[in-house]
Structure 1
Amino acid sequence: MTETDRLARLLDAVTACLDDPGLTGEDLAARAHLSRHHFDRLATAALGEPPGAFRRRLLLERAAHTLATTDRPVTVIAFDAGYGSLEAFTRAFDRAFGRAPSRHRLARDPRFRIEAPSGIHFHPPGGVRLPATEGDPMSIVTDLIDQHVTLVGELLEKARPLSAEALDRPVPYAVDYSSGDTTLRELLAHLVGSTERWIAAMSARPAPAEGGDSISALAERYGKAGPEWRGLARTALEGGRSGETFIDATCEPARTFTYGGSVAHLLHYGTLHRCLVIGALRAEGVEGLPVSDPIHRVGAAA
């Protein structure tokens, strides 16, 4: 288990029970499937504060936010934060924020975070905000490139068992490059062909010859084109050349594009066509389709 996995498990155990402040340390450890001693040791190392203190802080942060944004009675807020009396809540709140809960409410101060070594805080309405991990923002774009190439390959494999009738059945979607009915085969062929054409444009090579449009042929073509385009795109972006222009001699007449613009174009339309392919495959009863939404695959928390 990675450190990220371990932290996620600890956070799940603590934050999932914010609405049950009566839970004990033993209860929290059990939710993480750990002994109390092991749980306390790992949580303190990962969070920079004991798990009990971490949870009390999150509850106080939530209380401060609730005071400033709602008219809920202070006594109810105190009980929700795990305090058995208004007096105990007031003392704890004053230590954390330097003023009584009543004064905080009157001020309607939107600030509610208490300084913490982990940088992990309550996030309205009922979640937790983790600090961003270190990394290059460009990695999100390169992750999208990797996701696109992987997904197109997976979709081609999912289409292999389909009959010619299914592949050539019109699908009820309008796409801007088709003059008539669009078929699943046409969508897949466009995903492959557009990749080959952009490779030729970015590499100053002649336009590629038309290849076969059987699924086996398309998969074979993409097995070469997908990785090659990914390499060209990543090399250009990671080398700081996204604004560099090139002449696309495969167009008639020739046109000028930037590397960044060409990558954005292929990812934009590629996302549309992937979604259409997934819809068409689902309509044909294909199961186990990949998830196209990048929130589940790109830059997602472990």
Structure 2
Amino acid sequence: MTETGAGRDRLRELLDAVLDEDHRTLEEMAGGAYASPYHFSRQLSRGAGEPPVAMRRRVMLERAAWQLRQGSSVTDAAFAAGYESVEGFSRAFQRAYGEPPGSVPRDAGPHWLPAPNGIHFHPPTSLWVEGTARPAAGEVSALLVEHDLDDTRELLELAKGLDEHAYRDARLPGHAPLGFDGPDESLAQLLGHLVGTKELWLASIEGRDVPPPGADDVPALLERHDAVAPRWLAMVRDVDRRRAWGDRLVDALCEPPESFVLASVLAHVLTYSAHRRLLARHLLGAAAAWPEGDPITWLQRRTGGQP
């Protein structure tokens, strides 16, 4: 959690505002945290990796799932979760859990949904926050995933001040480490691949269609990154929780379809992302001050200087 004063935990205050029973809208949440809706949403999204409205909806669905397993009626669970109709609640529950709320057995499994931040409903009225502050050796992969997402965003922020030539000129002619991805000759191509790779792999893992090509100007890439980053992190957490890294993905987006072990997919993304981030820093030059891309200094910043 982020300290902003002696004995004060600002992120915890934001979470309390999100989950307060009386706060149903973004404006009400922000008011409870004494912030504007814009700054409230920005602070929470950066601190917890999830927009406030999406977090509240997910945690309320987790609570509803637990209540249903304790014998609550679907109607009571729906209105307690803030839905205006049982039909709307049922559709949202089915999308999240893959089954209608009326068919949830009392002895069903865990009620947690995939989350990018480890924040979940904990019965009867609390939150459970999975620890991430002091990663052990077995959590190095999780640390690398989070560093990759944060560092990619930092590079995109640094690229905001570049003119079009510096951003799009092919300063690495002929460079294409992955032929099927196309060239990585310019900063625009490097940053575009950093974001687009995760969009494509998530589509494969989630069984979705190939996402259409997105705009690659810096504001658009920032928007795309902020949309895909929490989903990517949630996927990694979910696979890890299920100990499913040995599962195989049959990627129908390939022609012909190919099979990949999930652990190798993550290793692939991290390997080429690190390569592209280093090259992007090289092209950014003095704007990307070393050693700010170093996982050591990144973790020190996150933990307040602690190793």
TM-score (norm 2): 0.50
Secondary structure of 2:161's aligned partner: coil
For 1:223 and 1:289, locate their aligned partners in 2 and report how far apart those are by CA, in whole Å: 24
Number of residues paired by the alignment?
Answer: 168
For 1:214 and 1:135, locate their aligned partners in 2 and report how far apart those are by CA, in whole Å: 35
For 2:258 and 2:204, locate their aligned partners in 1 and report how far apart those are by CA, in whole Å: 10
1:244/1:298 CA distance change after superposition, 3 Å = farther
CA RMSD of aligned residues (A): 2.5
Secondary structure of 2:287's aligned partner: coil
For 1:215 and 1:254, locate their aligned partners in 2 and report how far apart those are by CA, in whole Å: 33
User: CA shift at 1:160, angstroms?
Assistant: 1.0
Q: Which residue of 1 aligns with 2:220?
A: 217
Name the aligned partner's letter for residue 151 of structure 1: D
Name the aligned partner's letter for residue 154 of structure 1: E
User: CA shift at 1:138, angstroms?
Assistant: 3.0
Q: Which residue of 2 aligns with 1:177?
A: 178
1:199 aligns with 2:202: yes
1:236/1:160 CA distance change after superposition, 3 Å = same
Q: Which residue of 2 aligns with 1:115?
A: none
Where does 1:133-144 land on structure 2 (aligned, <5 Å)?
136-144=136-144
Q: Which residue of 2 aligns with 1:27?
A: none
User: CA shift at 1:293, angstroms?
Assistant: 2.9
Where does 1:279-298 land on structure 2 (aligned, <5 Å)?
279-282=282-285, 285-288=286-289, 291-298=292-299
1:198/1:290 CA distance change after superposition, 3 Å = farther
Secondary structure of 1:257's aligned partner: strand
For 2:185 and 2:254, locate their aligned partners in 1 and report how far apart those are by CA, in whole Å: 23
Q: Which residue of 2 aligns with 1:250?
A: 253
For 1:159 and 1:143, locate their aligned partners in 2 and report how far apart those are by CA, in whole Å: 24
Q: Which residue of 2 aligns with 1:166?
A: 166
Name the aligned partner's letter for residue 216 of structure 2: D
1:238 aligns with 2:241: yes
Specify every segment of 5 or more residues in structure 2 that has no aligned partner in the other structure, as ranges: 1-133
1:161/1:261 CA distance change after superposition, 3 Å = same
For 1:239 and 1:298, locate their aligned partners in 2 and report how far apart those are by CA, in whole Å: 26
Specify every segment of 5 or more residues in structure 1 that has no aligned partner in the other structure, as ranges: 1-133
The structure 2 residue matched to 1:269, chosen from 268, 272, 279, is: 272
User: CA shift at 1:163, angstroms?
Assistant: 0.9
1:143/1:287 CA distance change after superposition, 3 Å = closer
User: CA shift at 1:234, angstroms?
Assistant: 2.1
1:288/1:273 CA distance change after superposition, 3 Å = same
Name the aligned partner's letter for residue 274 of structure 2: T
1:175/1:298 CA distance change after superposition, 3 Å = farther
Aligned residues of 1:247 and 1:255 also touching (Cα < 8 A) = yes
Secondary structure of 2:259's aligned partner: strand
User: CA shift at 1:291, angstroms?
Assistant: 2.4
1:152/1:290 CA distance change after superposition, 3 Å = farther
Name the aligned partner's letter for residue 194 of structure 1: T
Name the aligned partner's letter for residue 176 of structure 1: P
Aligned residues of 1:171 and 1:181 also touching (Cα < 8 A) = no
User: CA shift at 1:297, angstroms?
Assistant: 3.5
For 1:286 and 1:160, locate their aligned partners in 2 and report how far apart those are by CA, in whole Å: 10
User: CA shift at 1:246, angstroms?
Assistant: 1.3
Q: Deviations over 1:187-206 (max 9, x none)?
A: 00111111100110111111
1:241/1:161 CA distance change after superposition, 3 Å = same
